[in-house]
């Protein structure tokens, strides 16, 4: 993974800081003064369903203005690349850099013209702007609710992966695609946002997927399509379905049935593994299974069990749960809290779309 260096990175970091100061002291230059969209004539106050690109808290009141032609052109390029219909409106506004918002049931992207103008002036400015907008667009096209709650990490990783895939299709190199995330890697502060390294890995995974590659491509690869394994909108899972699935998932590990264990995971899976240094490492479907296969092949007298299962949230796209996991083998034992999001694929099977070890002791 090549890290972006030089004046371009310094300039973007400087712009993030100066944009925030300028918006407070002087106000931000906007497009025209006419309302941005008749559907949202009012300003947005105290948004609670929001994603800011850096994870920093946004202003409590956001004034909306008409979007500039350059921003609209970038949005159109991204939408045309995806081939999906646009389900949001675009506005300029007094925000830090850019944000996606769900407000009164309407989906909105708001960006700071002062920041974007500066970003476009850098060495890879075109791609920095595209990466930020692609992340915001992904939230809306994926139907993310953008609430700050447990399980929000999955939405952010999905958006970053989408951005990487889209940018590669638009012609960006890996370095150009990741530059925006490297620039804000020290600024992320909101809870339920993944670490910068995980977000960068998710973006790289999407970029590689667009090229037909996958993470740790040994046996299990990132699958792009299978009619029976595509997640669908579904009613929330019952407590009995959740308990039954976790029993299957645990026993597949304890009985060394790795094929059944792999079938517990959606092809669109994303996960964060807690390593021995306490850092969270990002994996996609292929990377996760390859890593676990190596680990389980070395485990002797393996036993995995769960308890204290709690439902954190339910929505049309799945059920987020938290539980206590007990892992035992002759060489390693631990107990910890695990977060999972489960949903049904077209074949009716429950599968994991997100998994994260929150703590281990």
The answer to whether the CB of 290 falls within 8 A of the CB of 216 is yes
Q: Report residue 223's pLDDT band, with 50, 70 and 90 as the boundaries.
A: very low
Distance CA(110)–CA(165), nearest Å, equals 22
| Mean pLDDT of the chain, nearest integer | 77
What would the mean pLDDT of 189-210 be, rounded to a whole number? 77
User: Where are the alpha helices (H) located in the chain, listed in sequence order?
Assistant: 7-25, 69-82, 113-120, 125-141, 152-170, 174-183, 196-210, 239-254, 258-262, 285-298
**Which pLDDT belongs to residue 281?**
84
Q: Assess contact for 321 and 243: CB atoms under 8 A.
A: no
Distance, CA of 69 to CA of 86 (rounded, Å): 17
- 281-334 per-position pLDDT tens digit: 888 888 899 899 998 889 999 999 999 999 988 876 788 899 999 999 998 899
* CA proximity to 78, closest of 134, 158, 138, 160: 134
Percent of the chain having pLDDT more than 90?
Answer: 26
* 13-47 tens-digit pLDDT: 444 443 433 333 323 333 333 333 444 446 777 67
What mean pLDDT is predicted for residues 63-68? 89
Contacts of 43 (CB under 8 A, 6+ apart): 61, 62, 63, 64
pLDDT of residue 67: 92
**CA 320 remoteness from chain centre:** 15
* DSSP states of 188-247: --STT---HHHHHHHHHHHHHHHTT--TT-SS-------GGG-B---PPPPHHHHHHHHH
Collapsed DSSP state (helix, strand, coil) of residue 255: coil
Give the angle subtended at the CA of 25 by the CAs of 20 and 27, to the nearest 5°.
Answer: 80
**pTM of whole model > 0.75?**
no
Q: Note the pLDDT of residue 192.
A: 62
Query: Domain map of the chain by residue range?
Result: 7-210, 227-360
The residue with greater pLDDT, 122 or 337, is 337
Contacts 24+ apart (CB under 8 A), 322-331: 322/150, 322/358, 323/246, 325/357, 327/303, 328/301, 328/302, 328/303, 328/304, 329/299, 329/300, 329/301, 329/302, 329/303, 330/299, 330/300, 330/301, 331/298, 331/299, 331/300
In this model, does residue 228 exceed pLDDT 50?
A: no
pLDDT digits (tens, 9 = 90+) for 110-142: 998 988 888 777 777 788 889 989 999 988 888
Quote the percentage of the chain above a pLDDT of 70: 75
Is CATH 3.30.70.3040 the right assignment for the domain spanning 227-360?
Answer: no
Residue 259 has pLDDT above 60, yes or no: yes
């Amino acid at each position: 993974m090549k890290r972006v260096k030089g004046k371009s990175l310094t300039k973007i970091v400087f712009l993030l800081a100066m944009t925030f100061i300028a918006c407070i002291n002087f106000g931000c230059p906007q497009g025209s003064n006419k309302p941005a969209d008749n559907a949202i004539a009012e300003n947005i106050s105290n948004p609670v369903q929001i994603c800011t690109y850096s994870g920093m808290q946004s202003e409590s009141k956001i004034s909306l203005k008409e979007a500039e032609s350059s921003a609209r052109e970038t949005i159109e390029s991204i939408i045309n690349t995806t081939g999906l219909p646009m389900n949001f409106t675009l506005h300029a506004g007094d925000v830090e850099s850019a944000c996606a918002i769900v407000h009164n049931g309407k989906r909105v992207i708001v960006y700071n013209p002062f920041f974007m103008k500066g970003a476009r002036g850098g060495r890879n400015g075109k791609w920095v702007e595209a990466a930020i907008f692609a992340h915001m667009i992904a939230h809306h096209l994926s139907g993310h609710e953008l609430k700050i709650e447990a399980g929000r990490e999955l939405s952010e990783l999905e958006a970053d992966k989408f951005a990487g895939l889209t940018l590669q299709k638009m012609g960006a190199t890996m370095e150009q695609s990741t530059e925006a995330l490297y620039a804000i890697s020290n600024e992320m502060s909101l809870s339920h946002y993944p670490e910068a390294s995980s977000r960068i890995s998710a973006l790289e995974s999407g970029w590689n997927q667009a090229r037909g590659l996958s993470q740790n491509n040994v046996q299990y690869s990132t699958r792009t399509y299978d009619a029976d394994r595509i997640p669908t909108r579904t009613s929330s899972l019952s407590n009995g379905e959740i308990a039954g699935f976790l029993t299957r998932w645990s026993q597949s590990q304890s009985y060394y049935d790795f094929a059944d264990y792999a079938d517990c995971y959606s092809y669109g899976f994303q996960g964060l593994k807690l390593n021995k240094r306490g850092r969270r490492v990002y994996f996609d479907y292929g990377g996760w299974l390859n890593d676990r296969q190596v680990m389980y092949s070395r485990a002797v007298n393996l036993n995995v069990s769960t308890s204290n299962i709690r439902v954190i949230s339910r929505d049309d796209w799945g059920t987020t749960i938290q539980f206590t996991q007990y892992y035992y083998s002759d060489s390693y034992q631990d107990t910890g809290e695990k977060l999972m999001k489960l949903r049904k694929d077209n074949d009716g099977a429950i599968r994991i779309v997100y998994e994260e070890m929150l703590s281990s002791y």
